[in-house]
Amino acid sequence: MIQQEMCATNLIIFGPPGSGKGTYASRLQLKLGIPAIAMGDIFREISKEETGLGQRVKEYMEKGDLVPDDIVIEVLKERLAKDDCRSGFILDGYPRTMEQARALGEIVEIDAIIRLLVPEWIIVERLSTRRICKKCGEVYNLRYLKPKKQGICNKCGGNLYQRTDDTAKVIKERLKVYEKQTQPLLKYYEGTVPSIEFKCEKIDIPPEAAVKEILNGLEALSIQ
């Protein structure tokens, strides 16, 4: 296993597309002092590289296929071996398969699962109004997380865009796929890794309020 500092905090955040995983994880990393690791972001960066791995990853992503487990696991091992993970991490978008979950257990011990429970109607509304910065990947929402200047990222000044799959029909299909993939994983961790649940019942709940509730849940587990 990867050697970490004593009292390292290793977390996985589970939630369907549009549940706020990335938004909450980015804020939790500041509160907990550990990196949020979004595997999707890592593979998007790798796909831009002029390497054999970069080309392979790009081909999978362009076809809409999942990157094979062996590649995902190897990339994750390299990421978790970096110094900023010595005190722990928050995994977003991993694991997605049972093989990935078992491989993760051989690399590090997971301290807790954060599960986001969000009704379908909220997810559809959120994703259909989501906008993303082309340059830095910062996420906005036209309802409750608006940029200061329309179409422009507050953080880096990049242009904002809407993903082509952020439509109601495609979103509902993505939710079905997520449920099918995730249920076995939650069952796998059940009884062995403690978990907390955050139930979102309002579309415009401030991210800070959600993060505060998640932190309270972690504190109740003596994890912070």
Other Cβ atoms within 10 Å of 71 Cβ, number:
16
What is this structure's pTM?
A: 0.83
pLDDT 10s digits, 155-164: 999 999 998 8
Amino acid 223: pLDDT: 79
pLDDT at 193: 96
N-to-C CA span, the chain = 22
- The structure tokens listed for 103 are 């491989």
Cα separations in angstroms, 140 against 12, 19, 59, 133? 23, 13, 28, 8
* Active site residues per annotation: 21, 96, 130, 163, 174
| pLDDT above 90: percentage of residues in the chain | 59
- pLDDT, tens digit (0-9, with 9 covering 90-100), for 200-217: 988 888 889 999 999 999
Q: Domain limits of the chain?
A: 9-119+175-220
Tens digits of residue pLDDT in 37-82: 998 889 888 988 888 888 988 888 777 677 899 999 999 999 999 9
Task: Give the pLDDT band of residue 33 (cuts 50, 70, 90).
Answer: very high
Average pLDDT, the chain: 91
> Rounded to a whole number, what is the largest CA-CA distance in the chain?
47
pLDDT at residue 85 above 70?
A: yes
Q: What is the pLDDT of residue 164?
A: 84
pLDDT at 29 over 70: yes
- Is residue 111 very low, low, confident or very high in pLDDT (cuts 50, 70, 90)? very high
pLDDT on residue 168: 85
State the pLDDT at residue 18.
Answer: 86
pLDDT of residue 5: 66
pLDDT of residue 92: 94
State the Cα–Cα distance between residues 131 and 139, nearest whole angstrom.
Answer: 6
- CATH architecture for segment(s) 9-119+175-220: 3-Layer(aba) Sandwich (3.40)
What is residue 40's predicted lDDT score, i.e. its pLDDT?
A: 84
Answer whether 53's CB lies under 8 Å from 71's CB. Answer: yes
